[in-house]
Amino acid sequence: MKLIAGNWKMHKGPAETLAFFDGFEAPDGVDVVLCPPFVSLEAAVGEDWPIYAQNVHCAGDGAFTGEISAAMLVELGVHGALVGHSERRQYFGESDDSVRARAEAALEAGLKVIACVGESEAEREAGLTESVLARQVAVLPRHADLVIAYEPVWAIGTGKTATTEMVQDAHAYIKSLHDTRVLYGGSVKPENAGELLAQADVDGALVGGASLDPGSFAAICLAGSRS
């Protein structure tokens, strides 16, 4: 089955989170994951779908102000975590090594992980897409509970979407490096979800803005159930 994950980023407090679930129904035949902000995790846990955090620290505890450990998420009832999202890399200094450490810590604690990789527009134009992906994927652990999300940085929150050929080629290349499910993330919306999810090596989607509306996200999930 396709895996459709909704990353809410810094949107929806606890009240809005509960309101979303009141209006959201997913079809059969698709795996659904929601990734609310930290303050809304407790409100979301216990709903009908697995809940992932948007980030996780590599240490079990310590003097790391503002960070959250994998053990804390497990205790809360969270099922998994994103690591290495392009916004974490761009704005908060995440590196390949820190992404690896966070992924390993989460998996060791029993969380599932969606690890994000992807090239910038400058890197793609310079013909460096495969070398960037190879570097980012090489550090990721081999584990049954790790999924990779390919998100070309130039298509995150810009309204730009990679062509289906670009998406298929990138996914096939990632799978040649790492035997796992690979999701596509980058301005996925109901209008393009069907075509993107129909590609042979696309195993699902990591959805940003279009996951904030229950109807929009349900339409993407429906596209996944039909692919």
C-alpha–C-alpha distance, residues 34 and 13, integer Å: 14
The dihedral through the CA atoms of 135, 138, 141, 142 has a sign that is positive
For residue 6, list its beta bridge partners: 34, 207
Both tokens assigned to 9: 């980023």
Both tokens assigned to 97: 């090594």
Taken as a whole, the chain contains a residue count of 227
DSSP per position, the chain: -EEEEEE--S---HHHHHHHHHH----SSEEEEEE--GGGHHHHTTSSS-BEES--BSSSSSS-TT--BHHHHHHHT--EEEE--HHHHHHH---HHHHHHHHHHHHHTT-EEEEEE---HHHHHTT-HHHHHHHHHHTS---TTEEEEE--GGGSSSS----HHHHHHHHHHHHHHS-S-EEE-SS--HHHHHHHHTSTT--EEEESGGGSSHHHHHHHHHHHHH-
Q: Name the catalytic one among 57, 94, 151, 178.
A: 151
Q: Name the catalytic one among 85, 87, 104, 171.
A: 85
- Catalytic (active site) residue 87: no
- Catalytic (active site) residue 191: no
Query: Which residues does the annotation mark as catalytic?
Result: 85, 151
